[in-house]
Amino acid sequence: MTTENNNLEREEAVVVALKATFPDLTARVKRIRRVEASVSKALTPSVLVHAKNVLGYKALSHISCVDWIEDEHFELVYILWNPDEKIQLLIKTLISRENATMENIDTIWRQANTYQREMREMFGIEFPGFVGAKEFLLEDWDDMPPMRRDFDTKEFVKEAFFLRPGREDAKDVRDTIAKRSKEEIPEFAKKYSREK
Amino acid sequence: MDTNDKGVRKIVDMITGFARSNSLFMLAYGTGCGDIEIPPAMTSRYDWERFGYRKMATPRQADVLLISGYLATKTLKRVIRSYEQMQEPKYVVAFGSCTINGGMYWDSYNTIKMLDHYIPVDVYINGCMPRPEAVMSGLFDLQEQIKKGEANGAQKYRENLEWYRGNQKKVIKNWVMPEYNW
Ligand code: SF4
């Protein structure tokens, strides 16, 4: 893409259009063809409906979830796509991590059903009034939802499976290579070293 | 190993061993990403049919169960069922580092790490993923073992069923299968 092509008029227009209808929302242009909006939890469904029916974001590409464990919330990102304008719109909303619930939106896009099933299984987010098979990928899972960051995978693995001995002396790859080729490791990278 | 009263292998077992080792039917059940090496191995490039291997569609007709990579606990359940439905003589070839020690999934919450704790393994092939040459060399090892009458994983399984079942039930919590499938 050439630099002449880099004016962001179309993206700015989306921001203006969103703000005109929803004055409470913050939106910004992320880069060419990508706009990002942060919305409160209560407002999210109406913003999604508006984006779909009025602004032409017909396709829901994905719903992803980020676990901000330090701030004690989940961030849901609804990724919408406008096939005419070729612009991607990210609608982000924060929900509390305790008893996480979110509005069910599979009446707006049917494919949301699948994503919501996944989030229910992997993060434990409940969607009241939502109908979908209980299990998505896992079978007979009775532990904490595994994609939550407070789920300790390593401890779980030690409990649940047999580990073949010989893994304990695993070397830090970066350190080993640096030592062998007498390379300097930059200061900032040292805190990631596994070598004590 | 079957021996006669003088401690020598019976000739009839040598003959059956020879015959068995040269017509191995393999259950076409790909579990992990390693299964992508099987099409080149079985088609014209490496053409393993010339050594007597064939792919078979159902467990009841197969002799060899080739575990081609990582096993999610969900898949393990299906593998156990397939393995138990196979008729003896039956052999297991485990393929890829995932089956040996978990490979790159060694700290994954949903894949088993040591396959030989769940079903008996006759031959391990290491590599991530093993090339068709390695797969075939593993199968030659299996042939050698069968000829010598040493590939007795199925017998091991029968005799230590309780231990295997215990391990299996540790990961498959909701055991909705019959206690014994064959
Ligand atoms: S050993 Fe490697 S190629 Fe084989 S299943 Fe595991 S990750 Fe895939």
Show the tokens assigned to A187.
Answer: 């200061």
* A58-63, Cβ contacts within 8 angstroms, sequence gap of 24 or more: A58/A82, A58/A83, A59/A83, A60/A108, A60/A109, A60/A111, A60/A112, A61/A88, A62/A115, A63/A112, A63/A115, A63/A116, A63/A119
What distance in angstroms lies between residue B65's CA and the mean position of ligand 1's atoms?
17
Residue B44 pLDDT exceeds 80: yes
Distances (CA, A) of B141 to B91, B119, B135: 12, 19, 10
Q: CA–CA distance from B58 to each of A30, A193, B25, B63 (Å)?
A: 53, 49, 10, 10
Per residue in A73-115, pLDDT tens? 999 999 999 999 899 999 999 999 988 999 999 899 999 999 9
Chain A residue closest in CA terms to B97: A164
Tokens of A62: 């994905």
Q: Chain A residue closest to B100 (CA)?
A: A164
C-alpha A163 to ligand 1 mean position (Å): 17
pLDDT at B7: 67
pLDDT digits (tens, 9 = 90+) for A46-68: 999 999 999 999 999 999 999 99
Contact B33, B69 (CB under 8 A): yes
Q: Which of B74, B109, B174 sits opposite A157 (nearest CB)?
A: B109
Report how far apart, in Å, the C-alpha atoms of A152 and of each of A84, A134, A149 are.
44, 23, 7
Q: Find chain A residues with C-beta within 8 A of B174's C-beta.
A: 139-140
Higher local confidence (pLDDT), B158 or A187: B158
Q: What is the rounded CA–CA span in Å between residue B68 and residue B174? A: 25
Q: Which of residues 36-55 of B touch A (CB under 8 A)?
A: none
Distance (Å) from the alpha carbon of A96 to chain B's nearest alpha carbon: 25
Confidence of residue B182 (pLDDT cuts 50, 70, 90): low
Which two structure tokens, joined as six digits, stand for B50? Answer: 């010339």
Q: Does domain B3-171 have CATH number 3.40.50.12280?
A: yes
Q: Which residues of A fall within a CB distance of 8 Å from B113?
A: 157, 161-164
Q: Which residues surround ligand 1 with Cβ inside 6 Å? A: B 32-34, 69-70, 96-98, 103-104, 128-129
**What is the average pLDDT across B13-38?**
86
Question: Domain limits of chain A?
Answer: 3-142, 152-196
Q: Please report which confidence band the pLDDT of residue B1 belongs to, taking 50, 70 and 90 as the band edges.
A: low
Q: Which residue of B has its CA nearest to A152?
A: B109
Rg (CA), chain B: 16
Residue B132 main-chain phi, psi, to 5 deg: -55, -35
Per-residue confidence (pLDDT) for residue A114, from 0 to 100 = 92
pLDDT of A189 strictly over 80: no
State the pLDDT at residue B34: 84
User: Among the atoms of ligand 1, which is closest to the Cα of residue B104?
Assistant: 7
Q: B115: nearest CA in chain A? A: A162
Chain mean pLDDT for chain B: 87
Q: Which of A140, A142, A161 sits opposite B113 (nearest CB)?
A: A161
Domain boundaries, chain B: 3-171
d(CA A75, CA A78): 10
- Which chain B residues are closer than 8 Å to A160 by Cβ? 109, 170-171
Mean pLDDT of A171-178: 77
pLDDT of residue B119: 92
Residue B38: CB atoms within 10 A of its CB come to 20
A124 touches chain B (CB under 8 A): no
Residue B92 in contact with residue B83, Cβ under 8 Å? yes
pLDDT tens string B32-43: 888 888 888 888
Residue B173 touches chain A, beta carbons under 8 Å: yes
pLDDT at res. A116: 92
**pLDDT single digits (tens) B69-83:** 888 998 999 999 889
Higher pLDDT, B11 or A167: B11
pLDDT of residue B128: 87
Mean pLDDT of all residues in B136-150: 89
pLDDT tier for residue A6 given thresholds of 50, 70 and 90? low
B182 or B145, higher pLDDT: B145
Identify the CATH assignment for A3-142 out of 3.40.980.10, 3.40.50.300, 3.30.460.80, 1.10.10.10: 3.30.460.80
State the ipTM, two decimals. Answer: 0.80
CA A154–ligand 1 middle distance (angstroms): 20
pLDDT one-digit tens code per residue, A154-163: 888 888 888 8
Q: How confident is the model at residue A169 (pLDDT cuts 50, 70, 90)?
A: low
Answer positive or negative: Cα dihedral of A132, A138, A139, A145: negative
Chain A residues with beta carbon closer than 8 angstroms to that of B107: 153-154, 157
- Find the CB nearest B109 among A153, A166, A167: A153
Global pTM reads 0.81
Give yes or no for B126 touching A (CB within 8 A): no
Q: Does A153 touch chain B (CB under 8 A)?
A: yes
Confidence of residue B121 (pLDDT cuts 50, 70, 90): very high
Tens digit of pLDDT for each residue in B89-113? Answer: 899 999 888 898 888 888 889 999 8
Return the pLDDT at A5: 60
What CA–CA distance (Å, rounded) separates A56 from B78? 45
Which residues of B51-116 form beta strands (DSSP E)?
53-56, 64-68, 91-95
d(CA A7, CA A11): 9
Candidate from A137, A160, A164 with C-beta closest to B171: A160
pLDDT tops 60 at residue A151: yes
Query: Do the bridges between strand A73-82 and strand A59-68 make them parallel or antiparallel, or are there none, so unpaired?
Result: antiparallel
CA atoms within 13 A on the CB side of B131: 3
What are the two backbone dihedrals, phi and then psi, of residue A121, each rounded to the nearest 5 degrees?
A: -80, -40
Is A188 touching B (CB cutoff 8 A)? no
Q: What is the pLDDT of residues A107-146, one digit of tens each?
A: 999 999 999 999 999 999 999 888 888 888 888 888 889 9
